[in-house]
């Protein structure tokens, strides 16, 4: 009797074991598939964040370089050139001539020093706020130039005489038949030109391209 039950029961138990193994295998495959999809979905979003962070890093690297070049050149000019005769670099076409400019870039608006100081501070705040949505390297370079230049001249406005927020900017690059300017002014102008070019090409700060 026991032998008969063993013989008869063997196929059932084998079938049961096979079914269980099959169910377990299917469950494993489903879990693996879900896990793979989860990993894929999870990697997609972080993939965008590092790209955005790299653009922000590029913006601030350009800004720091522009700012340090401007600051260093002004310190050198104040120490070595101010109070001395201008230095001719290319005959009468280009020379170094240290002056103090209370106005905006290229000597404009000398009566509105405080207003230009406020404008520079607002520009800096807007650029820093815009950096959070930045996904375009050309825009990062352009905004970095603007930020570095604005910080360079704002530093003069705050720390140079005659007083806080009324300080005169140090200018020293003097082309013939043109206003005297500095490296901060150059960075601002180059950044502005690049922004105009990017806008005409339809490239937005977030990296999207549109055509009118």
Report yes or no: 133 and 204 within 8 Å, Cβ to Cβ: no
**H or E segment at 97?**
strand 94-101
Which listed residue (70, 185, 204, 212) is catalytic? 185
Identify whether 70 is a catalytic site residue.
no
CA 22, CA 16: separation in Å to the nearest integer? 10
Active site residue 171: yes
Q: Both tokens of residue 152?
A: 């360079």
Residue in 12, 39, 41, 171 annotated catalytic:
171
Half-sphere exposure of 211 (CA within 13 A, CB side): 0
Q: How far apart are CA 39 and CA 34, in angstroms?
A: 9
User: What is the Cα–Cα distance from 152 to 105, expressed in whole angstroms?
Assistant: 12
Q: Which residues are catalytic?
A: 171, 185
């Amino acid at each position: 009797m026991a032998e008969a039950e063993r013989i008869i029961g063997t196929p059932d138990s084998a079938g049961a074991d096979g079914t269980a193994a099959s169910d377990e295998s299917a469950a494993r495959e489903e879990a693996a598939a879900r896990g793979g999809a989860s990993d894929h979905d999870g990697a997609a979003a972080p993939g965008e964040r590092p790209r955005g962070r790299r653009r922000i890093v590029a913006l601030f690297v350009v800004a720091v370089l522009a700012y340090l070049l401007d600051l260093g050149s002004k310190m050198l000019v104040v120490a070595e050139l101010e109070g001395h005769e201008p230095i001719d670099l290319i005959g009468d076409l280009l020379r170094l001539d240290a002056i103090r400019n209370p106005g905006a870039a290229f000597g404009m608006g000398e009566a509105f020093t405080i207003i230009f100081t406020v404008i520079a501070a607002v520009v800096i705040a807007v650029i820093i706020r815009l950096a959070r949505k930045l996904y375009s390297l050309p825009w990062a370079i352009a905004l970095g130039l603007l930020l570095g230049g604005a910080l360079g001249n704002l530093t003069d406005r705050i720390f140079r005489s005659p007083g806080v927020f009324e300080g005169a900017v140090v200018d020293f690059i003097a082309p013939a038949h043109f206003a005297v300017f500095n490296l901060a002014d150059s960075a601002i102008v180059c950044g502005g030109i690049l922004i105009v070019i990017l806008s005409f090409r339809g490239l937005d700060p977030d990296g999207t391209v549109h055509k009118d």
